[in-house]
């Protein structure tokens, strides 16, 4: 009857561990459960789970327990429990420790008396016993192996007790049961390593894609990395905030998701034409067409100078000289406005129109200064992109969502496509690609939007503008808060935590870091 009860208990224990295989996320908690069951089943005084080091040179103490020494089941202190070496300096196998012996032989083993055996060198055991007033006698050790029979670690038990409280030996039945436990522990450890390996591969792949996208442009190298870094920094500040975000607590998995979304937010730019991404000047296509415009000016200058030389009247000569001076001024004007700015005044548009309509006749031919397409580009009111080029640039957010939505993620990363693709959405619904409103934009999306905006405003490697100072940047963001475009609380956090300055000191040029009138900035949107 007792044997039947014990068998039922063992089956329940194995079942419980089997269930934990699929539900327990912390491998160390699972190892604790395995070691606890191993100790209970064998009535051992204690035990250890060792795991193989990354370089496969040592067995590292992971979980340890010795009941008689009040060493409760828990994580091993690596300072107190140094690793067990598996090889010497000549790479010869070391068998002097029982755990290393089992690791190398790959077989479950036991000894009745550690002091009276010839399997391993017991000097280390004796030394431990002397230093800790302990007596090691019976031992059992079982290797943990993966599906390819590769060593993952060792489970070791010490001093089995009989019903009368005397130290006895570990039986064959014990070794069979322990081998089953070791097998389940190995499965859990293999799964953990596999998941970690896949996540590491995902991160490496994402970062390599991000680096490739950044390198595709000669101007925006590092943009994605900086946005990802600032997104992570904002999320960490939210975790520490005791005011507006005191009830927000991101899990480690949610923090991972924010980081990955930051790294992937511009993946859609892989389809954006380089001539659009890198359009540094209004007239730029493959090259800056301002050189062709300047050549036309030079040709007409030469023609006018020739006509001045052969002018028959003083009046005509003076008229041509005035025209020459005007065209010199027009040339400098065209060169200047070829660099995109924040706003093109109406009178500038009118002047471009006049330059476009100008014609000079000489030698029976008619010469012009700019073409219709050049006029169209020079009349761009803000920046360097035409409306159709802006649409092509804006398309990247939608492409990011489409590309990321096609991938299969672990459930914990299910929102990654939304977070990544929402970095140009605005709380008032005026953003893109989906015109989402505040109610539809989770905090994670808003974090990445703020990070992308702050990086874009301060970046000094853009083709169409200089990096703004901190004051200029925060003033623009203040206006956007006032207009209901970006999250006020996040902007407050960026400022109050001094994250705006911490980021600047790491990524910006010294001349961009000015003294900011914080009260003035916040007063712009708190009226």
Q: What is the pLDDT of residues 349-388, one digit of tens each?
A: 999 999 999 999 998 899 999 999 999 999 999 888 888 9
pLDDT of residue 74: 61
How many other C-beta atoms are found inside a 10 Å radius of the C-beta of residue 441? 21
Among 35-44, 51-60, 264-273, name the most confident range: 51-60
**Mean per-residue pLDDT for 469-498?**
96
Asked if pLDDT for residue 20 goes beyond 90, the answer is: no
**Mean per-residue pLDDT for 385-401?**
89
Q: What is the pLDDT of residues 288-327, one digit of tens each?
A: 899 999 999 999 999 999 999 888 898 999 999 999 999 9
pLDDT of residue 50: 92
Q: For the chain, what are the domain ranges?
A: 2-195, 217-272+387-525, 290-378
Asked if pLDDT for residue 499 goes beyond 90, the answer is: yes
Residue 113's nearest CA partner among 98, 99, 127 is 98
**Mean per-residue pLDDT for 140-159?**
89
Architecture of domain 217-272+387-525 in this structure: Orthogonal Bundle (1.10)
pLDDT of residue 421: 94
Asked if pLDDT for residue 6 goes beyond 60, the answer is: no
Asked if pLDDT for residue 103 goes beyond 90, the answer is: yes
Reading the block at residue 527, the tokens are 């009226």
Preceding peptide of 267 cis, ω within 30°: no
391 φ/ψ angles, rounded to the nearest 5 degrees: -60, -40
* Bridging pattern class, strands 109-111 and 139-145: antiparallel
**Mean per-residue pLDDT for 131-152?**
88
pLDDT of residue 11: 55
Report how far residue 331's alpha carbon sits from residue 169's, in angstroms, rounded to the nearest whole number: 99
| Domain 2-195 shares a fold with domain 217-272+387-525 | no
Top-confidence residue, 433 or 409: 433
Top-confidence residue, 291 or 65: 291
Q: What is the pLDDT of residues 447-460, one digit of tens each?
A: 999 999 999 999 88
2-195: CATH topology is Beta-Lactamase (3.30.450)
Asked if pLDDT for residue 106 goes beyond 70, the answer is: yes
Q: What is the pLDDT of residues 501-527, one digit of tens each?
A: 999 999 999 999 999 999 999 999 987
Q: Residues 6 or more apart from 321 whose CB is under 8 A from it?
A: 308
Residue 169's nearest CA partner among 123, 102, 109 is 109
Output the average pLDDT for the chain.
Answer: 87
* 378 within 8 A of 284, measured Cβ to Cβ: no
Residue for token pair 């705006």: 500
pLDDT of residue 222: 80
pLDDT cut 90: percent of the chain above it: 51
Asked if pLDDT for residue 158 goes beyond 60, the answer is: yes
pLDDT of residue 461: 65
* 152 within 8 A of 142, measured Cβ to Cβ: no
Q: What is the pLDDT of residues 199-226, one digit of tens each?
A: 777 778 777 877 777 777 655 558 888 9
């Amino acid at each position: 009857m007792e044997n039947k009860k014990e068998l039922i208990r063992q089956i329940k224990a194995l079942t419980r561990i089997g269930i934990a295989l699929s539900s327990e996320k912390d491998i160390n908690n699972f190892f604790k459960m395995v070691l606890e069951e191993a100790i209970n089943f064998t009535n051992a005084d204690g035990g250890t789970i060792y795991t193989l080091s990354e370089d496969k040179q040592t067995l590292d103490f992971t979980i340890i327990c010795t009941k008689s020494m009040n060493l409760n089941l828990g994580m091993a202190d690596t300072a107190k429990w140094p690793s067990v070496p598996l090889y010497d300096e000549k790479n010869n196998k070391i068998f002097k420790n029982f755990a290393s012996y089992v690791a190398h032989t790959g077989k479950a083993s036991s000894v009745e008396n550690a002091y009276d055996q010839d399997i391993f060198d017991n000097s280390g055991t004796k030394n431990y016993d002397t230093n800790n007033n302990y007596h090691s006698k019976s031992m059992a050790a079982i290797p943990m192996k993966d599906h390819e029979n590769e060593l993952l670690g060792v489970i070791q038990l010490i001093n089995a007790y009989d019903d009368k409280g005397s130290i006895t030996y570990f039986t064959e039945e014990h070794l069979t049961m322990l081998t089953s436990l070791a097998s389940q522990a190995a499965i859990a450890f293999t799964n953990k390593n596999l998941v970690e390996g896949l996540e590491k591969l995902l991160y490496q792949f994402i970062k390599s894609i991000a680096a490739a996208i950044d390198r595709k442009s000669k101007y925006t190298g590092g943009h994605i990395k900086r946005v990802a870094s600032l997104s992570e920094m904002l999320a960490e500040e939210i975790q520490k905030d005791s005011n507006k975000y005191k009830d927000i607590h991101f899990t480690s998995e949610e923090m991972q998701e924010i980081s990955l979304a930051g790294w992937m937010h511009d993946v859609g730019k892989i389809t954006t034409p380089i001539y659009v991404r890198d359009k540094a000047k209004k007239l730029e296509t493959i090259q800056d067409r301002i050189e062709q415009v300047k050549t036309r000016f030079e040709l007409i200058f030469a023609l006018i100078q020739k006509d001045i030389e052969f002018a028959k009247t003083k009046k005509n000569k003076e008229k041509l000289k005035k025209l020459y001076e005007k065209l010199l001024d027009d040339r400098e004007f065209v060169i200047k406005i070829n660099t995109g700015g924040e706003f093109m005044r109406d009178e500038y548009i009118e002047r471009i129109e006049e330059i476009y309509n100008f014609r000079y006749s000489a030698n029976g031919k008619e010469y012009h200064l700019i073409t219709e397409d050049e006029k169209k580009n020079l009349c761009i009111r803000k920046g360097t992109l035409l409306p159709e080029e802006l649409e092509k640039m804006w398309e990247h957010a939608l492409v990011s969502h489409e590309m990321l939505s096609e991938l299969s993620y672990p459930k914990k990363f299910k929102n990654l496509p939304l977070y990544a693709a929402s970095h140009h959405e605005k709380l008032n619904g005026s953003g893109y690609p989906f015109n989402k409103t505040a109610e539809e934009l989770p905090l994670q999306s808003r974090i990445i939007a703020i990070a992308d905006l702050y990086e874009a405003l301060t970046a000094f490697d853009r083709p169409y503008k200089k990096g703004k100072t901190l004051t200029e940047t925060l003033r623009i963001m203040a206006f956007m808060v006032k207009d209901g475009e970006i999250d006020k609380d996040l902007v407050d956090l960026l400022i109050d935590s001094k994250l705006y300055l911490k980021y600047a000191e790491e990524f910006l040029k010294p001349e961009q870091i000015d003294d900011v009138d914080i009260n003035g900035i916040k007063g712009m949107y708190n009226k």
